[in-house]
Amino acid sequence: MYRQPDFSHPRFQNAPDARFQAAPADGVLPEGFFSTTNLPTYVRVGGEWKLPRDPRMDSALVLDPDNVPRVLEGRYVRRGQMVAMGFAEDGAEGIYVHASGLMGDPDMGPEGEFKFMSSEVSREKPTDYPEMARILVDERERGGHFIWVVGPAVLHSRGRDTLAWFVNNGYVGVLFGGNAVAVHDIEAATMGTTLGMNGRGVPVEGGHAFHMRAINRVRAAGSIRAAVEQGIIETGIMHALVTSGVPYVLTGSIRDDGPLPDTITDVVAGQEAMKVHTRRATGVIMIATALHSIATGNMLPSYVYREDTGEVRPLTTICVDSSEFVVSKLKDRGTHQAFGVITNAQDFLHVLRHYVEIEAASRQPAAVA
């Protein structure tokens, strides 16, 4: 189960002994100390590669009187005690971290460098908004077809305005969603609430039925477009899509109320309507909807292929959800080149717009004097 390193290999034969340096004070290590991992770590002492006593991570290496190394927390090192030095984990400085010796260690890089935080999706990782902004502006400039897949959580007050801004400014190639996202957007446009709550999240009287009243008005008008044209819908995402001429595909789910006349209730027909767009997609951004995101992910290749030029490049994917589970699941489904962002949909859109505005402004040609 454990594979010993082959110390007859020249890289080990030619390695020096580990270098040691005295600690400058009690509980203080010399700058450049070797910091341990929890993996089997061989220290070369007197030409011999030895495993240390008391192994653990985030600690220093000292020598016991019998010349066997020992792992010791920095706080217990005494002034003048000799401490192993160096950064290399490949044996070149006399210390070798043998990551590959334990089977099935997927978190190791080549040559066994130990890495923290190697799982790819985590609320504790920074989000590279400037890079996402750069991609969105690039795609707009070169006429890409970016798919936005959104769930109802984008709708609360400012999120809805911000998404309409992205539509109106040319960043949305097509919008995919369910019946609910349109229903609650139109509820906001016609009744002033989302999910029966006002903009501060407080339920209003009778609010539980407001989405049903919104649906009924669109059914009476005949379609979302007709409701926009008749002045029933004057704000929001669906309004922005209709007035900007950006297409949308609303597909049904078994939990739908209504549905709206525009919602495609047959799921196979719905996939066909989506396919018109997934075929020519150059990127996708999926926000706060596991169902529609996975549906879209299932239909998208991991790459963009131009048959005329033969060019192949990765398809950009941005997944946003409050939960690591959903974002990881999208990766499990085989969606690569993903930005995984663990955050609130409304905050995501707010911050993304901020960076997109900066990026777009930076590309404006200077005005002529």
Residues in region 324-353 near its own copies by CB under 8 A: 324-325, 328-329, 331-337, 341-344, 346-348, 350-351
Q: Does 259 bind its own copies (CB under 8 A)?
A: yes
Q: Which position among 266, 358, 362, 363 is part of the footprint of its own copies (CB under 8 A)?
A: 266
Instruction: Please say which residue, 131 or 244, places its beta carbon nearer to its own copies.
Output: 131
Q: Does 252 bind its own copies (CB under 8 A)?
A: yes
CA dist., res. 11 & res. 33, Å (int): 22
Instruction: Please say which residue, 170 or 225, places its beta carbon nearer to its own copies.
Output: 225
Q: Does 256 bind its own copies (CB under 8 A)?
A: yes
| Minimum CB–partner distance for residue 365 and its own copies (Å) | 28
- Return the structure tokens found at 292: 């529609």
Q: Which residues contact 46 (CB under 8 A, 6 or more apart)?
A: 17, 67
Instruction: Please say which residue, 138 or 170, places its beta carbon nearer to its own copies.
Output: 138
Among residues 277, 303, 308, 302, which one has the least CA distance to residue 292?
A: 277
Residue 292 main-chain phi, psi, to 5 deg: -75, -30
Instruction: Please say which residue, 247 or 334, places its beta carbon nearer to its own copies.
Output: 334
Residues that bind its own copies (rule: CB under 8 A) add up to a total of 137
Residue 208 exposed, middle or buried by CB count within 10 Å (0-12, 13-18, 19+): exposed
Say if residues 264 and 250 touch (Cβ distance below 8 Å): yes
Which string of x and - marks every residue 12-51 that binds its own copies (by CB under 8 A)?
------------xx-xxx-x-x-x-xxxx----------x
Determine the residue type at 35.
S
Q: Which position among 65, 117, 365, 366 is part of the footprint of its own copies (CB under 8 A)?
A: 117
Q: Does 254 bind its own copies (CB under 8 A)?
A: yes
Say if residues 163 and 190 touch (Cβ distance below 8 Å): no
Which residues ranging from 73 to 112 are in contact with its own copies (CB under 8 A)? Answer: 73-75, 87, 101-107
Which residues ranging from 229 to 248 are in contact with its own copies (CB under 8 A)? Answer: none
Instruction: Please say which residue, 270 or 283, places its beta carbon nearer to its own copies.
Output: 270
Among residues 62, 45, 28, 165, which one has the least CA distance to residue 96?
A: 45
Instruction: Please say which residue, 127 or 282, places its beta carbon nearer to its own copies.
Output: 127
Among residues 122, 133, 187, which one has the least CA distance to residue 348?
A: 133
Q: b/e string for 251-281 if b means 16 or more Cβ within 10 A? A: bbbeebebbbbbbbeeeeebbebbeebbeeb
**Binding segment toward its own copies, per CB under 8 A, in 9-17, 70-78, 163-171, 235-243:** 70-78
- Return the structure tokens found at 168: 């109106």
Q: Does 253 bind its own copies (CB under 8 A)?
A: yes
For residue 261, the 8-state DSSP code is T
Q: Which position among 153, 174, 284, 286 is part of the footprint of its own copies (CB under 8 A)?
A: 153
Sign of CA dihedral 211, 217, 223, 228: negative
| Minimum CB–partner distance for residue 102 and its own copies (Å) | 5
**Binding segment toward its own copies, per CB under 8 A, in 72-80, 134-142, 236-244, 360-368:** 72-80
